[in-house]
Amino acid sequence: MKKMTKRTVPAMLLLAFSGATSAAAFQLWEQNASGIATAYAGSAAVADNASTIFFNPAGMTLLPGIQVSAGVAGVAPSYKFSNGGSSGLLGAGGDGGNAGGWSAVPNAYISWQLAPDWFVGLGVSAPFGLNTEYDQGNWIGSYQATKSKITTVNYNPSLAWKMNDKVSLGLGFSYQTIDAEFSSAVPGPLRSVQLKGDDSSWGWNAGALFTLSPAMRVGISYRSAVDYTLEGNAAGLPAKADVKLPDTAILSVWQQVSDNWEAMGDLSYTNWSTLQSLNVNSSNTGVQLGSQNLDYKDSWRIAWGAAYRATEAWKVKFGIAYETTPIPSGKLTASLPDNDRIWFSFGGQWNGGSYGKIDAGLAYLYMKDPSINQTKVFPGGATSTLRGSYSDSAMLLGVQYSNGF
């Protein structure tokens, strides 16, 4: 085997990082746990607790006084690989186990009515995230990816104005941080490459809420893209890469169908097509070390949900949603073997009056099993091809507490 020189390390960095860009496609809807039970249908129109700060800040105008809401969602994707003719450089000949597993996604919000028509709020949540890790001692695809982890935290101060009884407007600013860690095996003395990077940046969000009647609301909202320059190191070599997390638009409707029934719907669009390539540059000289084509496509999500008031204190909720992946066929990587998904959701709410409200929800995400045919070419001409299919699914479980003062 050829000896690795410092000139080959930049290429290794690109190979390690390029597979991880699929992680950026993992958008987290779990910005509260109260929406899990209805598959987040009506997210920009429901406005029944302070988490509306994230989905539509205009919804704060429906929350009198001081309102607090906090919760946590457990997210458990399951990615199980089955080999189907992998070739070239390969790791230990196993399937890597389940690359998914449980992760916690917390959130906290507070809104405050300053005057009859003016409201302010602050939200803290995690809008993007990923955590996939294979069993490194039993993973045939270790040259594609062994661990991919992205953590974001979004701090979202917001303002809302009740223009009149029919129209409310909201605006927020986001200070967002990101930490990323990616690793994979490489041939040669290094054996593996790990890249760690972090950054912080700003974005914004805005929304409008239209009360068409006491029994019907329509909400629209927009959340801007956020541009990052991830800077870190791998194998002692400083490197950086520009990453743009996409903007999202939401159209929602909520309706009080009868005394006991509510219905809600949601249509959202995420502009992933802005992420067409990844360029990795030297932190010292700015010289491009490599580029990877991604060809991401825009994604859509449609959801419908309902809630039934069984008693004065109890509501039963359920919902269904369909969501498309931004990753094109043929571009799937081991870092995130994603596919289109269908949500099946169920849960409930307990209203304890002055003791507050507790929401709980459970969702199962069905994904059609995707195929993978990922090839990496290493310096010196060696190749590694991961070929086969994944069995994908996910579970969500969350609880949210909300109260007003």
Contact in structure between 242 and 294 (CB atoms under 8 Å): no
Q: Report the pLDDT averaged over residues 209-227.
A: 97
User: What is the Cα–Cα distance from 162 to 218, expressed in whole angstroms?
Assistant: 15
Q: Using the CB atoms, write b or e for 362-378: b if 16+ within 10 Å.
A: bbebebeebebebebeb
| Single-letter amino acid code for the residue at 67 | Q
275: Cα within 13 Å, side-chain hemisphere: 29
| Domain boundaries of the chain, sorted by first residue | 27-404
Nearest to 269 by CA among 251, 249, 252, 246: 249
Write the pLDDT tens digit of every residue in 116-169. Answer: 999 999 999 999 988 899 998 899 999 988 998 889 999 999 999 999 999 999
Q: What is the pLDDT of residue 11?
A: 44
User: What is the Cα–Cα distance from 317 to 350, expressed in whole angstroms?
Assistant: 11
| Single-letter amino acid code for the residue at 193 | V
Highest mean pLDDT among 190-204, 339-353, 375-389: 339-353
| Single-letter amino acid code for the residue at 190 | L
Burial of 72 (0-12, 13-18, 19+ CB in 10 A): middle
Contact in structure between 399 and 61 (CB atoms under 8 Å): no
Q: What is the pLDDT of residue 224?
A: 97
Residue 279: band (very low, low, confident or very high) from pLDDT cuts 50, 70, 90: confident
Q: What is the pLDDT of residue 190?
A: 66
Write the pLDDT tens digit of every residue in 189-206. Answer: 767 777 778 899 999 999
Q: Write down the residue that tokens 């199962």 correspond to.
A: 364
Contact in structure between 87 and 385 (CB atoms under 8 Å): yes
User: What is the Cα–Cα distance from 77 to 395, expressed in whole angstroms?
Assistant: 6
Chain center to CA of 217: 26
Q: Write down the residue that tokens 């638009």 correspond to.
A: 249
pLDDT exceeds 50 at position 21: no
Q: What is the pLDDT of residue 182?
A: 82
> What predicted TM-score, i.e. pTM, was given to this entire model?
0.91
pLDDT exceeds 90 at position 52: yes
Structure tokens at 245: 């997390």
User: What is the Cα–Cα distance from 23 to 130, expressed in whole angstroms?
Assistant: 6
Q: Report the pLDDT averaged over residues 366-395.
A: 91
CATH homologous superfamily for the domain 27-404:
Outer membrane protein transport protein (OMPP1/FadL/TodX) (2.40.160.60)
